[in-house]
Amino acid sequence: MDADTVFLHNGLEKIIKLYIANGMKGLLSIQPYHTVRKMYENLSAIFNIIVVAGINFTINCYIN
Stretches where the chain sits below pLDDT 70 are 56-64
Q: What is the pLDDT of residue 58?
A: 56
Q: What is the pLDDT of residue 52?
A: 75
Q: What is the pLDDT of residue 13?
A: 92
Name all contacts of 29-34 with Cβ < 8 Å and 24+ positions apart: 29/55, 32/5
Cα–Cα distance measured from residue 49 to residue 64, given in angstroms and rounded to the nearest whole number: 24
Q: What is the DSSP letter of 39?
A: G
The number of distinct structural domains making up the chain is 1
pTM of the model: 0.51
Tell me the residue range of the domain where 45 lies. 1-64
pLDDT digits (tens, 9 = 90+) for 14-32: 889 988 988 888 877 777 7
Contact indicator for 28, 18 with CB cutoff of 8 Å: yes
Cα–Cα distance measured from residue 57 to residue 48, given in angstroms and rounded to the nearest whole number: 16
